[in-house]
Amino acid sequence: MKKIWRACLLIILLCCMSLIQRSVMIAQANEPKELNIVTSFYPMYAITKEIVGDFHEVRVLNSRNGIHGFEPSANDIAAIYDADIFIYHSNILESWTKNIAVNLKNSSVTLVEASRGMAMQKVTGLEDIEEIEGMDNAALYDPHTWLDPIEASVEAQLIADRLSELDPDNQETYQANAKQFVEQAEQLVAKYQPIFEQLKQKTFVTQHTAFSYLAQRFNLKQLGIAGVSSDIEPSSKKIAEVQKFVNEYKVKTIFVEPNVSDRAAKVIANATGTTIVALSPLEGDPLNTDPFLVNLEKVLETLSSHLQQEE
């Protein structure tokens, strides 16, 4: 009798263990997959973070410095290949991504080019230069689309669409977050368009020619001292041209990028009596937890308030 009782008890225990194991397997199967998402620099990180919400962690390779001239380290490249998704701005800005794309044999990472399909503007003065095979066209085009709220929202939607394809279980959240981003971008433009429209001084001078898309959105004109890359030093001829413009149009402010050499701007400021003011192109992390469009509004507020003082 005892043997029968022990056998029954063993069967019951085995059944319970089987049920528990099955429950664990079902729970694990239903548990959402944690995606490993890597981004190239601050705008891509901030926009992606808003689309993803709390579902996944998002990592950024280059957080503190500008993206111009950035080359990924061996650890950065390893992080990209180990990721599920790598989100970057463009093959123009991050030209090194072309090498990554052709070496994906042993990696399952999905590359997402956030500006894909956008019509990049050629740098003023270089519109007539023809592209030839093998040419590095990074210097021909202005990549700073994220400084236009509407273009930034286009990038946000593209990121949401690609994430929805790769993680359909969370598609509804991604699309809702993208919709909110688009609406907030439109509200930001609607808020600042009348402010910029009433300005008498619509031309602004910058050290780094990074604000062409922003200027176009708000019917302004940017005069850059250096090129689209903050690493480029202007020629003496260019400095003289900007000095002449500043004097002729009574410009009171020259905008410079934080944490980047402002030597040329200081030369012009000393010669013309203008004031130097920091205006971030949001390439490096602003070191706060504000959403991307809040940081972009700070740029618009700085620009508009100083242009109002020039009237």
Q: Is residue 197 part of a domain?
A: yes
Find the helix packing angle between 171-197 and 292-308, rounded to 10°.
0
Q: Do 178 and 43 have their domain in common?
A: yes
Which domain, by its residues, includes 198? 191-310
Q: Is residue 20 part of a domain?
A: no
Q: Is residue 26 part of a domain?
A: no
Q: Is residue 148 part of a domain?
A: yes
C-beta separation of 73 from 97 below 8 A: no
CATH number at residue 102: 3.40.50.1980
Q: Which of 46-50, 58-62, 94-98, 257-261 has the lowest mean pLDDT?
A: 257-261
Q: Which of 8-22, 69-83, 195-209, 297-311 has the lowest mean pLDDT?
A: 8-22
Type of residue numbered 262: D
For residue range 274-306, list pLDDT tens digits in order.
999 999 999 988 889 999 999 999 999 999 999
What is the DSSP annotation of 94-115? TTTHHHHHTT-TT--PEEEETT
Q: What is the average pLDDT across 147-156?
A: 98
* Last-in-domain residue among 162, 186, 210: 186
Q: Is residue 24 part of a domain?
A: no
């079902």: which residue's tokens? Answer: 26
| pLDDT: which is higher, 209 or 40 | 40
Q: Do 180 and 61 have their domain in common?
A: yes
Q: Do 169 and 228 have their domain in common?
A: no
Split at pLDDT 50, 70, 90, the class of 17 is low
Q: Which of 7-11, 97-101, 164-168 has the lowest mean pLDDT?
A: 7-11
C-alpha span between 114 and 91 (Å, rounded): 10
Torsion of the alpha carbons at 33, 36, 42 and 43, rounded to the nearest 10: -50
Q: Do 201 and 171 have their domain in common?
A: no
Which residues are CB-neighbours of 22 under 8 A, at least 6 positions away?
Answer: none
Position 204 scores a pLDDT of: 95
| pLDDT: which is higher, 2 or 198 | 198
C-alpha span between 244 and 173 (Å, rounded): 53
Average pLDDT, the chain: 85
Position 28 scores a pLDDT of: 40
Q: Do 247 and 303 have their domain in common?
A: yes
Q: Do 166 and 66 have their domain in common?
A: yes
C-alpha span between 291 and 47 (Å, rounded): 8
**Count of C-beta atoms within a 10 Å radius of residue 131:** 11
Answer yes or no: is pLDDT of 90 > 70.
yes
Q: What is the average pLDDT across 115-122?
A: 88
C-alpha span between 300 and 18 (Å, rounded): 62
Domain tally, the chain: 2
Q: Do 202 and 171 have their domain in common?
A: no
This prediction has a pTM of 0.85
Q: Do 149 and 47 have their domain in common?
A: yes
Helix (H) or strand (E) holding 60: strand 58-62
Q: Do 221 and 169 have their domain in common?
A: no
